[in-house]
Amino acid sequence: MKKPIIGLTPQYDYEKNRVWVGPNYLEAIYAAGGIPIMLPLHTDKESLKIAANVCDGFLFTGGPDISPFLYQEETIAQCGVVVPERDKMEEDLFSIIIDTDKPVLGICRGVQILNVFLGGTLYQDIPAQFASPIQLAHSQASGNSVLSHSVILEEDSLLHKINPKDYIQVNSFHHQAIKDVAPGLKIAGKAMDSLIEAVYHPGKKFFLGVQWHPEHLFKTSDDAMNIFKAFINACD
């Protein structure tokens, strides 16, 4: 059985001039039956296209905040560090793969950037811009593998087909989130405070973004592992 090759978008550390991918992403892809590779950050679009052609699917990983200029907003004081090099690389990658219908999974920043590239917007800072009578721990103090809040699944969504239940419990490490859902995307899950936690594209073979970090949960949570298995299976 052929193992699909999954291209992952990288992190970039300005201070150390270091490019890397968190090992949990690699382990989750490998455990689900795929072969993970890190895509190049500093490259031209044509070279990135060559690298993308090798891949059977793509994982847009977590990371820093996204430049508000990408969704036509000014930067508010609570917006965190942005990395223009990564925004540009992922924008180029997205333009290369969007019409190929190769499977795409976005995690945390990944779901946000997919929404932005398709025309959606973000809350630059949840505490500053999102009003709710329930104050959930979207940026939890507990460890990576600790569950923080529930996500209510939309019936008949891609996420509900992967995990056919009313809700799942997730971890949470974000201060930004989807505000306006991009044209073509549909909501797959919301938190109890109504914040959007997952979206999908019904017109694509597999196009799913989740706001939490299943790569830290796949060893102990079937709900998390099922996401990676469904992604890898779609890449065959």
Within the chain, residue ranges assigned H as helices are 23-31, 45-54, 84-97, 109-117, 126-129, 158-162, 222-234
Which is the catalytic residue, given 108, 138, 149, 235?
108
108 annotated active-site? yes
> How many residues are present in the chain?
236
User: Comparing C-alpha atoms, which of 55, 63, 60 is closest to residue 80?
Assistant: 63
Structure tokens at 113: 């950037």
Q: Are strands 167-170 and 149-153 parallel, antiparallel or unpaired?
A: antiparallel
HEC per residue, 77-119: CCCCCECHHHHHHHHHHHHHHCCCCCCEEEECHHHHHHHHHCC
What tokens does 204 get?
């694509």
Q: Which two tokens stand for residue 98?
A: 């969007």
* Rounded alpha-carbon distances, angstroms, from residue 168 to 22, 25, 27, 179, 213: 24, 20, 22, 21, 13
Active-site residue among 149, 160, 201, 215?
Answer: 215
Q: Which two tokens stand for residue 20?
A: 């890397």
Q: CA 138, 121, 87: angle at the middle one, nearest 5?
A: 90
Which residue among 160, 174, 213, 216 is the active-site one? 213
Cβ proximity of 75 and 27 under 8 Å: no
Active site residue 175: no
74 is annotated as an active-site residue:
no
Active-site positions read 108, 213, 215
